[in-house]
C-alpha cells in the first residue's frame, strides 16, 4: 500500500530528477533513491556497532598478506570434505 507525502525539494534537484526519470516517474525515482539511502545508512550503522569485533590478537594466523587466502582455501577444503562425507552416506 502506498501513502502520499508532501515533500519539498530544491528546484535544481527536482530538475535533475525530471531529466533522469521524467516528470511521470518522479515518485518511483525518489522512492528508489530513498530505499538505497536507507540501506546504506543501515549498513553504516551495523558497521559502527560492530567495529572492533575483529581483534588481531585473536587471529594471529591471519596477520600476513597471504594468510587470508590460505585460510579461505582451508575452509573450502574442509567444507568439500564434509560435503563428500554427507553425500556418500
Number of domains in the chain: 2
pLDDT at 32: 97
44 with 71, same domain?
no
pLDDT band at 60 (very low <50, low <70, confident <90, very high): confident
44 with 58, same domain?
no
DSSP code for 65: T
Over the stretch 21-53, which tens digit does the pLDDT of each residue have?
Answer: 999 999 999 999 999 999 999 999 999 999 888
- Domain hosting 2: range is 1-53
CA dihedral (49, 54, 68, 65) in degrees, to 10, reads 110
39 with 67, same domain?
no
Grid coordinates belonging to 87: 553425500
Grid coordinates belonging to 51: 567495529
49 with 80, same domain?
no
10 with 30, same domain?
yes
31 with 63, same domain?
no
pTM of the full structure: 0.60
Task: Give yes or no for a contact between 87 and 81, defined as CB atoms under 8 angstroms apart.
Answer: no
Amino acid at each position: 500500500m502506498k501513502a502520499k507525502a508532501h515533500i519539498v525539494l530544491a528546484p535544481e534537484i527536482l530538475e535533475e530528477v525530471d531529466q533522469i526519470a521524467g516528470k511521470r516517474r518522479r515518485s518511483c525515482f525518489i522512492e528508489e533513491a530513498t530505499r538505497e539511502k536507507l540501506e546504506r545508512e543501515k549498513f553504516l550503522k551495523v558497521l559502527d556497532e560492530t567495529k572492533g569485533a575483529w581483534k588481531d590478537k585473536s587471529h594471529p594466523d591471519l596477520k600476513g598478506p597471504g594468510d587470508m587466502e590460505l585460510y579461505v582455501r582451508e575452509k573450502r577444503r574442509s567444507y568439500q570434505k564434509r560435503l563428500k562425507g554427507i553425500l556418500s552416506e
